[in-house]
Amino acid sequence: MIVATAGHVDHGKTLLLKALTGVDTDRLPQEKQRGLSIDLGFAYIDLGEGYSLGFVDVPGHERFIRNMLAGVAGIDFALLVVAADDGPMPQTLEHLAILDLLGVSRGAVALSKIDRVTPERVGEVTNEISALIQNSNLVGAPVFPLSGLTGQGIDKLYVYLEDAARQMGGRDTAGNFRLAVDRSFTVIGAGVVVTGSVFSGQVAVGDQLILSPRGTRVRARAIHSQNQPSQSGSAGQRCALNITGPDLEKSQISRGDWLVDDRVRVPTDRFDASLRVQVNETDALKHWTPAHLYLGAADVICRVAVLQDGMLPPGGSGLVQLVLDRPIGAVHGDRFILRDQSARRTIAGGTVVDPFSPARGRARPQRITWLQAMSQERPDEAIRQLLAQSPAGLDLDRFAQAWNLTAEEAENLFAALPLKRIDDDSRWWGISPAHWQAYRQSLLTAVTDWHRQKPESLGPYDYELARVLAVKAPVSLLRQAIYDWVEDRQLARKGSIVHLPTHGPRPGADDLKLWAKVEPLVRDGGLRPPLVRELAADLGLELRQLEGFLNRA
C-alpha cells in the first residue's frame, strides 16, 4: 500500500514518518539546513507475509506544491497531518482539496505535536478536523492524536496502517505496465535508475519497456519493489528500476515521464476529460482558460476547451478537452489536477475520458454522445454503447489502448460481445451485428441502384461505391461486405468492379458511337493492338473513361 503524507508546512510530516519508519526522508542538504522538505522523500515498512507500506513524504510549503502533486499521484492512502498548536492551515485545506479531486478516499488524520498543547486544545482541533473532512472523500477518517517527538500515539497509528494494508491486499494488476517517473539517478556500476509509483500492470526483470513520450526502448535490468530487491513489481507498489538501453543517458529522463509497456506507449498532446471545478472558486472556468495540468508526475501547460455551455461554474462539472503544449502519457481513468496559469491556485480536478481526441468537431453532438459512452466505469459498458452509436464501427485496438487493456484482456472483452471483427491493415475493427447487416444491405442496394441508373455500365468500382454509401466506413469494412456478398452469390466481381451476377451492360447510344470509333483502331492493330492510353489520347478521352467503356464492352 502506498501512503502519502499531506498537510501544511512545519506540521511534522517528516518527523512523523521518521517515528513510524526510522527513516529521515529529508535527503537534500538544503532540506537538512532549513529543516524544510523541498522535494519528495520515501520510506518503507516491511510488514511480513508479502505486505508492506511505502510512504511518500510530500513538501507542505505552497512554493513546492508541484512536488506534492507528483507525490500523491497513484497513491492508495492519504495521511493528513495537522499540528495541534496551529490547527488546520491554508495548505491543509489545499492538500485536502487536491486529495478530494484526485478521488483519494482511504486515509487517516494524524493530529501532531500534542506534546505542545493541552488536552482541551487536542479536543478542540479534533472537532475542527472532523468538521473539515465532513464534506470530503475522507469523511469518517479516524483522527490519531500523537507526537513524532515523544512517540506518544505512534503505535496506534502504526497498527491502523498495518491493518489497512492487510485489508486492502494487493491492488488489481490489470492493464499494461505503467510507472510514473518521479526521480532518476545514476548508480556507479549499475547505470540509470528510475523510481516511481506503479499505476497499473506488472513488470519483471528482463522486460522490454518504453520511456514515454520520448520513445526510448530500454530493458529492466534489476528491480527494487517497496525498497526490497525483487524479480518483479506491480500496481500499488513503489518501484526502482535499473534500466539499460542503447545510448541511454540520465539527461534523457525527466520527472513526469512514463516507463511503460510498448502496447500503451501512445503519447498525446490533447485529451478529453470530465472536470470538476473547485467549489470555492470565485469565477467560472471559461473556454480556453490557460492552466497547469498535473497528471502522474508531470506538470504541463495547457488550455481548457469547455465542450458544453462555454463555461463551468464554481462547483460545476462537465466535459472538456485539454490541449497541451507537449505530449504526455494518459489513459482512460487517469486522475489529474488543474492549477491556474501562475500555478499558485488549485482550480479543478478531473478524469481522463478519451486520450485520443480530435482537433476538429470536439463539441459536436455526436462527439459528446461518444464521450458520454466513454465515461462509463467499465470497458464492457463503454464499448456496448459505442458500438450501438457507431454505424461504421470502431477501432478496437484504439479502444484497448485508450482503456490500457492488455492483449489478453482485450481479446476476452471482444470475444464476449456480439461483434463482427474485421482485420483492418493489422488492426482490428469492430461493428455491431445490427449495423453490419444494415451496412451490407445498403451496399447491395447501392449496386442495384447503380444498375438501374447506368444500365450501360457493368457496375461501380469499389471506390465509387464507397462514395455513394451513406455510412463512411474503412475500406476494410467495404471489402469485407463485398466479399461476403460474393461468397453468398448475391454479387460478382470483375477486377475492382462490383455487379449483380445477373447484370450485363446494355450499350447506350453514346457507347455505340464510341465503339464505332474504337473498333477499327483495335482491329487495325492486329496482333499488336494499341495501348489503352494511346487509344485515349487518339480519341481525346480520359483514361479512366475509356477503361470503363472497354470493361463494359
pLDDT at 36: 60
Confidence of residue 469 (pLDDT cuts 50, 70, 90): very high
Fold equal for 178-264 and 268-354: yes
pLDDT above 80 (res 442) = yes
Question: Can you give the pLDDT at residue 170?
Answer: 74
Confidence of residue 527 (pLDDT cuts 50, 70, 90): low
64-78, 118-132, 202-216, 320-334: which has the minimum mean pLDDT? 64-78
pLDDT at position 57: 87
Query: Looking at the chain, how many residues does it have?
Result: 553
Helix, strand or coil for residue 225? Answer: strand
Structural contact between residues 90 and 62, judged by C-beta atoms closer than 8 angstroms: yes
pLDDT: is 34 or 138 the higher one? 138
**Does the pLDDT of residue 31 top 70, yes or no?**
no
295, pLDDT greater than 80: yes
Are β-strands 232-234 and 238-244 bridged in parallel, bridged antiparallel, or unpaired?
A: unpaired
For residue 544, give Cα distances in angstroms to 280, 461, 499, 549. Answer: 67, 11, 18, 9
Q: Cell 501512503 sits at which residue?
A: 3
What pLDDT is recorded for position 536?
81
* In contact, 101 and 276? CB cutoff 8 Å: yes
CA dist., res. 245 & res. 307, Å (int): 42
Confidence of residue 19 (pLDDT cuts 50, 70, 90): very high
User: Is there a contact between 437 and 445 (Cβ–Cβ < 8 Å)?
Assistant: no
Helices (H) and strands (E) in the chain — how many of each?
16, 28
Q: Per-residue pLDDT tens for 359-418? A: 999 999 999 999 999 999 999 999 999 999 999 999 999 999 999 999 999 999 999 999
Question: By C-alpha distance, which of 5, 10, 3 is closest to 89?
Answer: 10
Strand partners, 208: 219
What amino acid occupies position 1? Answer: M
Distance from C-alpha of 348 to C-alpha of 293, rounded to nearest angstrom: 10
What is the topology classification, in CATH, of domain 268-354? Elongation Factor Tu (Ef-tu); domain 3 (2.40.30)
Whole-number pLDDT of residue 538: 80
Select the highest-mean-pLDDT range: 40-44, 233-237, 527-531. 233-237
User: What would the DSSP string read from start to end of 14-83?
Assistant: HHHHHHHHS-----SHHHHHHT---S-EEEEEEEETTEEEEEEE---SGGGHHHHHHHTTT-SEEEEEEE
Q: Which of 282, 296, 80, 131 has the alpha carbon at shortest distance from 200?
A: 296
Instruction: Report d(CA 527, CA 530) in Å as an integer.
Output: 10
Residue 50: CB atoms within 10 A of its CB come to 9
As a whole number, mean pLDDT of residues 158-168 equals: 95
pLDDT confidence of residue 35:
61
What pLDDT was estimated at residue 425? 75
Measured between alpha carbons, how far is 404 from 384 in angstroms, rounded to an integer? Answer: 17
- Which of 349, 350, 346 has the alpha carbon at shortest distance from 62? 346
CA dist 497 and 475 (Å) reads 15
Q: What mean pLDDT is predicted for residues 14-43?
A: 78
Place of cell 461493428: 431
Q: Residue 63: what pLDDT?
A: 73
Vertex 47: Cα angle to 206 and 19 (nearest 5): 115
Tell me the backbone φ, ψ of residue 426, rounded to 5 degrees.
70, 10
Cell, residue 69? 502533486
DSSP state of 134: G
Decide if pLDDT at 331 tops 70. Answer: yes
Give the integer Cα–Cα distance in Å for 320 and 287: 9
The DSSP letter of residue 8 is -
- Whether the bond between 213 and the residue before it is cis, its omega within 30 degrees of 0, is yes
| Cis ω before 365 (30° cut-off from 0) | no
Rounded Cα distance between 249 and 218, Å, is: 11
Instruction: Label residue 387 exposed, middle or buried (CB < 10 Å: 0-12, 13-18, 19+).
Output: buried
The residues, any chain, with a CB within 8 Å of residue 295's CB and separated by 6 or more, are: 73, 328, 330, 334, 335, 336, 337, 352
CA 355: distance to chain centroid? Answer: 5
Whether this model's pTM surpasses 0.85: yes
Q: What residue type is 92 in one-letter code?
A: T
Mean pLDDT to the nearest integer, 106-127: 97
The arithmetic mean of pLDDT across residues 28-55, rounded, is 78
pLDDT of residue 51 exceeding 90, the answer is: no
Rounded CA-CA distance 227/248 in Å is 24
**What confidence category does residue 34 fall into, taking pLDDT thresholds of 50, 70 and 90?**
low
Q: What is the mean pLDDT of residues 440-453?
A: 97
Per-residue confidence band for 128, with pLDDT thresholds at 50, 70 and 90: very high
Instruction: List the chain domain ranges.
Output: 2-168, 178-264, 268-354, 370-432, 509-552
- Nine-digit cell string for 185: 539517478
Q: What is the mean pLDDT of residues 269-294?
A: 97
Q: CATH for 370-432?
A: 1.10.10.10
SS3 assignment, position 275: strand
Q: Are 91 and 67 in contact (CB under 8 A)?
A: no
Average pLDDT of the chain is 92
What cell does 62 get?
505552497
CATH architecture of the domain with residue range 178-264: Beta Barrel (2.40)
Query: pLDDT: is 81 or 509 the higher one?
Result: 81
Backbone angles phi, psi at 523, to 5 degrees: -65, -40
Assess whether pLDDT exceeds 80 at residue 550.
Answer: no
Helix ranges (H only) for 462-508 are 462-468, 475-487
Instruction: Give the CATH number of domain 2-168.
Output: 3.40.50.300
pLDDT category, 284, cuts 50, 70, 90? very high
Residue 227: per-residue pLDDT: 86
Residue 64 pLDDT grade (very low, low, confident, very high; cuts 50, 70, 90): confident
DSSP state, residue 551 = H
The residue-averaged pLDDT of 137-143 equals 96
